[in-house]
Each structure stands twice: as structure tokens, then as C-alpha cells.
Structure 1
Amino acid sequence: MKHCTLMKYILLIGDGMGDTPVPELGGKTPLEVAHKPFIDRLCAAAEPLLVRTVPEGYPPGSDVANLSLLGYEPNKYYTGRAPLEAASMGVSIPEDALAFRCNLVTVEYLDDDRMTMIDYSAGHISSKEAAELITAVQAACGTDRLHFYPGVSYRHLLIHQGRVPDSLHTVPPHDHMDQDVTVFYQQYLGIDYLAELMRTSAQVLADHPVNLRRQAEGKRPANALWIWGEGKKPAMNTLQERHGITGSLISAVDLLKGLGVCSGLEVLEVEGATGYLDTNYQGKAEAALESLKAQDFVLVHVEAPDEAGHQGSVSDKVQAIEDFDSKVVAPIVTEMDRRGEPYRLVVTMDHYTPLARRTHEDWPVPLFIYDSEGVERSSGITYTEANIIAAAEQGNLCLDSGAAFFTRFVGTKAGG
């Protein structure tokens, strides 16, 4: 399919929506229980697909998965999570440096060198509070080798100048909730300057007024740093160069914004976008619709289902999916239909975040492509994991890569 410049392309991502049957939901998944009339109506008239967004051997993170959903092959373009976040923040990564994601987390210290991971997000600490803490850490621990930059909520950045010792192997904190993480913590303690960073920063955080106030209010303190997701600056050609389309991206998280920067999309800032249930859904939908007046493509990313999955909150995950339907999908579809312009729309997840596991899985993701002008074979089904998997397998609609999906979605560059 050649790219049609008259068509509008809308990619709506409910991060981590996919799940397995949940006992509290009568053996159903959140997608099966959630009231999502707009998504289900679109799905019934759409083409179902099962797409592998995480190639074998890659970590099932939002970095790899969303890179794939934008059509980029991870084996060619993936260098790590943190470099994408650095791009979003406008932080330059020198050629001889690495970027690390730096989480503010809540841990339980069992003794000086042992700990349990209590909360990878420090109770979804506010960006304002977090900025104060990261600024204090930079003042106390920043060196010519280590420099900290505040980000959004618990998500921050460390630029590490020079080579990192080969002995360092990092892990995402959200993969180890309520688990003893001593063996991973020892990785940092085995490197002298990182051991000093961990111990000094822990004392800075423990004594900081922000954390003292949070504890007095019954909130979780951000009492430790956790660095992971390291990588070098990526080199990516733009979506306009690859597919002949212009576009924009809307998300609350730096990782997605960084993907937007690296892929040549206009990153739209929406006031009140938080990455959780209290995000500004209306603002995201309005920004997407406004951008489509001038652009060919828009990606709207909603983080809340993933965060609920990591927290293990059944009710929050169901609510996040229902909010995604009513506050993002519904207004976008309603307005696009009113405008009468042809458009293609995808509803998908980037990966599964099962409530029972509280972390990501690398399973192929169920999605659909809706075309306002109709599709050759409509699914006639509602949007659930089981329905899409069965329809895709029956119809030979299983794709091995995000690149194959994205080309099917937007086509190829005219003349390309």
C-alpha cells in the first residue's frame, strides 16, 4: 500500500492494557470486564492483528515495544531506554557517555547492604517534590562523572561520563516489587563510586524536608535511587523519511516523548498530563485533534493501565481502560467522523502488564486497524485478548514485527 497524503493516521496506545484472567474479575481480564463501547464498536468494523512488538532476546519494556509500534526495528535502533528519555528532556549525551534512567523508589532497608523494593514510583511522587529531591542529590553527589537531571514524577536521568565497569548489570525496579533486591543492589555496591553514590544519596533523601513531610502525611518516602536502562545516543531516521508522513506525539512520559523527538514527530505538551489515572485525558484528545488539522499522523499514549498493572490494582486497571475509551477514543472518533475526513485508527497496547505478575510480558499484542472508509474483512468481534488472538490466528493475521505492522498501517513512502 502506498502512503495516501489525504488519509489521517491515529495510533492510540493503552500502555500495558493486556492481561491474563483475574480471579477478582470472575476469571476475566480487565479488557473483558471494562465498559468500552467505542473501542468495541471500532474493533467490530476493523481488521484484527496480532503483532510481536518485542523481538526474542529483547527486554519487554515500553522502550522496545513502542519503538516497534512506530515501525523501527529494535535490532537496528535500540540502544537503551534512558537515551530516549534524554532526547525528550533535551539533554545531550556525549559520545563517551551513557544515559541511565534514575528512579526515585521506596525501599525497606533490612540492614546496611540489604533491601526490599517496596515501590518503584515512591508512591507516584509529584514532579515538584521529585525535582527538589533530585536537585539535592545533584548538589551532594554530582561529579564530573555523574550528573542528575529531574524528569517527571519518579522518572529521572543520570548522565554517566566515561566507561561503566563491565560488572554492572542493572534491572528495572518495577520488575521486582515486594521482592528482596539485595543481589541487584550489590551490583552498585561493588563499584566504589556507585557505592558512595547509593549511600550518600540515601542519607540526603532520608533527611530531606520533602520526605519528612511525605512520611508525616502517611505517604511513601522516596528514600533511594535506582539506576537502570542505560544506553548510548541512538541514530534514527524520521518517519517522514521512512514513510512520507508528518506527525505529532502526545504522552506524559519522557520515554515516549524521546521516541517522538528521535523519530521526527512534534512532541505536544499537555498541561496536567501525569501518566496516571489523574492525567488530563481531555487535553490529550483535544491536542491530538488539533494537530491532525495540519499533520498526517498522531500518536496518543496513555500510561495509566501500565501503572495500575505494576501496582497490582485491579480496579484501577479497569478504570484506566474505561477512561481510555470514554475520554480519548470517543472524542477523537466522534470529531473525526464529524469532520468527514478519511482516517485510519489503531487501538493497541505496547505490551502486556498482567496484574498477577506486576511486570511486563513479551507476548504478541492484540490490536486492530480501523479504516473510516471500510476494510475488506471486518472482525465482528469486541476488543479482548482472546477474541483478537483467535481471529488473527484464524485469518493468518499474525505479524512478526512492529515494522510490518506500521507499514500495513500507514503504507510506504510515495515512490519508495
Structure 2
Amino acid sequence: MKYLFLIADGMGDWPLDELNARTPLQAAVTPHMDALAKQGIVGTCRTVPAGMPPGSDVANMALLGFNPANHHTGRGPIEAAAQGLELADNDLVWRCNLVTVSELSVNGFMRDYSAGHITTEKAMPLLRGLQMRFGSPRFTFHPGVQYRHLLVQKGAAGSDEAGIHVQPPHDITDKSIAASMASYKANPPLHELVMRASHWLAEDADNDTKANAIWPWGQGRPLRLPSFEKAHGLKGAVISAVDLIKGLGRAADMEVLDVPGVTGLLDTNYAGKVRAALDFLSHGDFVFVHLEGPDECGHGGDIDCKVEAINRFDRLIVGPLREALAGEPATFLVTCDHLTPIALKTHHADPVPFLLNWPGCSEPSGVGEFNELSAAQGVRVSKGHELLPWVLAKTGRGA
């Protein structure tokens, strides 16, 4: 049996007046997901443990079968794993966004968590400049993709300064940054770096982008995960445009499949992801295909964009994989990691809808459409890290 976990990041939502009280998933055209749901079973799963933030780091870790309450150390460390950074156990790793703020003070507002979706090409000179001017034995900048970068604070994981809470920038779009500015002050070396580096971006750099500040957040010690193959008995791989998913895969000794042209946005290399998944399944057992587009549209509050992102997920990811594996012993699990409601422009910890389809399903749901409403009438998996073992047991591969 081959296993495909197809993840449309942030796909779940709430009903919207603009869509006649439907969610974007209900409004989207999804014949492939609908067919899989009708012939399989549907349900909901709580991917975010109580008391933990509803981020993609927590939720995707759970979907890979690892309990975030035991393994999660922060978002930065996961992305550091993706880059293969050599880190000491007491290093503190920050995710470091390039952002746009109205002003970097308690009176400021977060205008754009992505600095206008800055391209990697535009971001690289800025990161090189930041490291050249402000890198030191204490702090090092490490470039990533687009607006997503890393900052390592050497030897600081055990300090009191490590525990400050900085709000994820995508949670505070058009909102005050006062609380986080106060938090930065509780880590004086970091606060000084943020102010100096941001001033350089805004005033002195040869910078024609919208990036006018750095925003370190999501800090923690280096990530250590058990082997995915040893934990679940499956040779697995991950496919994604974002370092977060790549880091989870690499930390769990999974294959990380690089696909040229993937962007994490609505316009990405869908066909390349499909080819990579099918190539891997010719010799592997499990592939985790992650699509970022619906989440980015949700953060932007763009209804049409989110509906189209779901349309493309169904038409360009689910459909081709379903057709290529027709008649083969293949299990499909289709879901999202968390909700990104248009009304909030950020994540929410509500249970996510999922469908499970495999050859020989003896009690198909018979639902006509796959969406939040139909899934809510199905089975319930109360803990996200138990979903994968539940799938394996359902399909006859459980312990």
C-alpha cells in the first residue's frame, strides 16, 4: 500500500456572507476531493494540542505522527533543520521575517508580514548586508526563502532572555506591534540588533523593496525528532516550497524532494510536485505533499484567491495523483494543517476537515461534497498526532 497525505495549508475556513454563507472550500470546484470523500470516509481532527499556538509548525508535526507537546521547540529550529545548520544544543534559533511596519516602536503597526511577498532574489542582498554589518559571534543571519529567514543567537537557549513572547507577524496584520516591542526589550542584545538592523533596512540600505524591518520570533533550541521510518514503518518523503515542511522531514530522516519552480504561492509548480510524488512512490511508501497557497490567500483576506487556490489544489494536485494511481493500492488522506479564516487573516485551532480513501473501504461516507460541514458529520480524531496511526490501522497496516 502506498500512502499520500495531501495538505492544503490553511484550506479550512468559516462561512462568509460574500459566499452566501459558504466557506471557500464549499464554494470551490472540487470534483476529485468530492469523489474521494464519497467513496471513502470523512471526519475532523484537532491538529493543535490545547494550549499550543495554531501554527503550521505545530500542526504539520502532528500530521506526521509526532506529538508537538513532546517534540516542538519552536518554528525557527524547524526551518534551521531544513537548511542543515550545524547548531549547538544551547543555541537559540529565531525565525526572522522581513516585514513592513508603519514604524518600529510601540506606536507602530504590522503592515505586511511578508514585505510585499518579497522575492528570494530581492531578499538575498539584504540578508548578505545584514550579516556583513550586524553579524557577530553572538548573532548570525542565515538566508532562507522569500521573506522567511533565520537568526541564530549563540548559546542563549538557557537564558532568561530566551523565553520572551514575540507575536507571529502574520497574526497581527494591520494591528499594533506594541506588545512585541515590549517583549524585545526583555532581551536587550536582541532588541539592540532589531533596532539597528531595521534602521539600516529602512534608511541606509540600497533597498527598493517593502522590507523596512526584521522580525525575529518563533525561537527555540535545535529540533530533534525520531526517525519517521522507525516510528511508523514507512519510507517517507516530503514535498513543499517552504522550509518549515522541509525541516520537519529532514529532522525525521525523511527524503526532502526539491521541485524547481515551487513558490509557496498561488502560482507554483503543481505538475512538478505531482511528478516528484509519483517518482518517489515507485520505491517509497509515504509522501507528504504540502501546498501553501490557500494559507497565503487566507492571510491576505482574499476570498477569490483562496477559492482559486483550493480549485487548483483539487484540479492540479489531487486529480492528477488520483488518476495516475487509479487501480493501484493507494491510500489518500486529504486535509489541511489548520484553519486560516478569511475573517481573521490568521490561523485558528478549530478541528480540520479530512477525507480518507483507500481500496476496500467497506463503509463509505456517501457524502456528496467534501467540506467543513460534511466532515463535521463524520468521525472525530481528537489528537492530531494520532491521525497517521489511525489511518494505518484503518487500512490494515497498523501495529
- Same fold, TM-score > 0.5, yes or no: yes
| Residues 244, 413 of structure 1: 8 Å contact kept | no
- 1:315 alignment partner AA: D
Q: Report whether the alignment pairs 1:292 with 2:285.
A: no
Equivalent position of 2:124 in the other structure? 131
- 1:116 alignment partner AA: F
Equivalent position of 2:190 in the other structure? 194
Q: TM-score, normalised by structure 1?
A: 0.91
- CA–CA distance in 1 between the matches of 2:396 and 2:227? 12
Q: Report whether the alignment pairs 1:165 with 2:160.
A: yes
Q: Report whether the alignment pairs 1:362 with 2:358.
A: no
CA apart distance, 1:288: 0.6
- CA–CA distance in 2 between the matches of 1:278 and 1:208? 33
- 1:144 alignment partner AA: P
> 1:48 aligned to 33, 42, 58, which one?
42
Equivalent position of 1:278 in the other structure? 267
After TM superposition, the structure 1 stretch with the greater mean CA deviation from structure 2, 405-414 or 170-179, is 405-414
- 1:293 alignment partner AA: S
Q: Report whether the alignment pairs 1:401 with 2:383.
A: yes
CA apart distance, 1:402: 2.0
> 1:141 aligned to 134, 138, 148, which one?
134
Cα gap change, 1:124 to 1:254, in 2 (>3 Å): same
Q: Deviations over 1:44-87 (max 9, x none)?
A: 11111211110101110001100111111112111111111000
Cα gap change, 1:140 to 1:114, in 2 (>3 Å): farther
- CA–CA distance in 1 between the matches of 2:43 and 2:206? 47
| Residues 48, 379 of structure 1: 8 Å contact kept | no
> 2:290 aligned to 292, 301, 315, which one?
301
- CA–CA distance in 1 between the matches of 2:147 and 2:284? 32
Q: Deviations over 1:216-250 (max 9, x none)?
A: xxxxx111011111111232211210111101110
Cα gap change, 1:243 to 1:184, in 2 (>3 Å): same
SS at match of 1:283: helix
Q: Report whether the alignment pairs 1:227 with 2:216.
A: yes
Unaligned runs of 5+ in 2: none
SS at match of 2:325: helix
| Residues 99, 113 of structure 2: 8 Å contact kept | yes
- CA–CA distance in 2 between the matches of 1:320 and 1:346? 18
- 2:341 alignment partner AA: P
Q: Report whether the alignment pairs 1:385 with 2:372.
A: yes
Task: Kindly tell me the number of residue pairs found equivalent between the two proteins.
Answer: 395
- CA–CA distance in 2 between the matches of 1:358 and 1:273? 23
- 2:132 alignment partner AA: A
- CA–CA distance in 2 between the matches of 1:369 and 1:257? 24
- CA–CA distance in 2 between the matches of 1:180 and 1:415? 48
Unaligned runs of 5+ in 1: 1-6, 215-220
- 1:156 alignment partner AA: H
Q: Deviations over 1:319-354 (max 9, x none)?
A: 1000101111111111111xx320100110000000
CA apart distance, 1:209: 5.9
> 1:121 aligned to 104, 114, 118, which one?
114
Equivalent position of 2:19 in the other structure? 25
- CA–CA distance in 2 between the matches of 1:384 and 1:347? 11
- CA–CA distance in 2 between the matches of 1:112 and 1:209? 20
Cα gap change, 1:185 to 1:112, in 2 (>3 Å): closer
Q: Deviations over 1:157-185 (max 9, x none)?
A: 11111224346221101000001112211
- CA–CA distance in 2 between the matches of 1:373 and 1:210? 61
- 2:240 alignment partner AA: S
CA apart distance, 1:203: 2.4
Equivalent position of 2:322 in the other structure? 333
Equivalent position of 1:179 in the other structure? 175
State the identity %: 43
Q: Deviations over 1:245-266 (max 9, x none)?
A: 1011100000100111112210
Cα gap change, 1:189 to 1:415, in 2 (>3 Å): closer
CA apart distance, 1:106: 0.6
Cα gap change, 1:378 to 1:414, in 2 (>3 Å): closer
- CA–CA distance in 1 between the matches of 2:57 and 2:82? 13
Q: TM-score, normalised by structure 2?
A: 0.95
SS at match of 1:115: coil
- 1:409 alignment partner AA: V
Q: Report whether the alignment pairs 1:346 with 2:340.
A: no
After superposition, the CA RMSD in angstroms is 1.8
Q: Report whether the alignment pairs 1:99 with 2:96.
A: no
| Residues 42, 374 of structure 2: 8 Å contact kept | no
- 1:342 alignment partner AA: P
SS at match of 1:211: coil
SS at match of 2:108: strand
